[in-house]
Amino acid sequence: MRAIRDISAGEELCISYIDLYQTRKASQQELQATKHFTCTCSRCSEPMQESIDRFIEGVTCSACGNVLITSNANQLYKCEACGKKENAQVVSEVLQAVCDCFESSPMQDI
């Protein structure tokens, strides 16, 4: 095992089972499929409006520039600032197009 800095004796070490930058839903699915448990850590269990995941799973609101976030219950993205709503399917298609651009970019190895 390697570390980017010296580790003191007795210092707590944390190992993530998943990519910390993937969505909460993707993380939960991966943990269920590979480790056979549902994570209930504070990040996974806190409301999306209060979670750091709102920035990972959210998108910029075209009306005010804040963050559109979703709840699994209503399949809508809603801006926490101005209240604008967007269909989750539309957001998903835009995000997939962005991902496709990154995956086909020669900069992906940087």
Higher pLDDT, 23 or 71: 23
Q: What is the mean pLDDT of the chain?
A: 82
| Token pair of 51 as six digits | 């979670």
Residue 32 phi, psi (nearest 5): -65, -45
In the chain, domain spans: 18-48, 58-104
Give the pLDDT of residue 106.
63
0.75 cut: is pTM over it?
no
Give the pLDDT of residue 110.
46
Residues 76, 69 contacting (CB under 8 angstroms): no
Compute the distance between CA of residue 32 and CA of residue 11 in angstroms, rounded to an integer.
29
Q: What is the dihedral of CA 52, 54, 56, 62, to 10 degrees?
A: -140
Give the pLDDT of residue 63.
92
Beta-strand (E) ranges in the chain?
Answer: 59-60, 67-70, 76-79, 85-87
Give the pLDDT of residue 8.
93
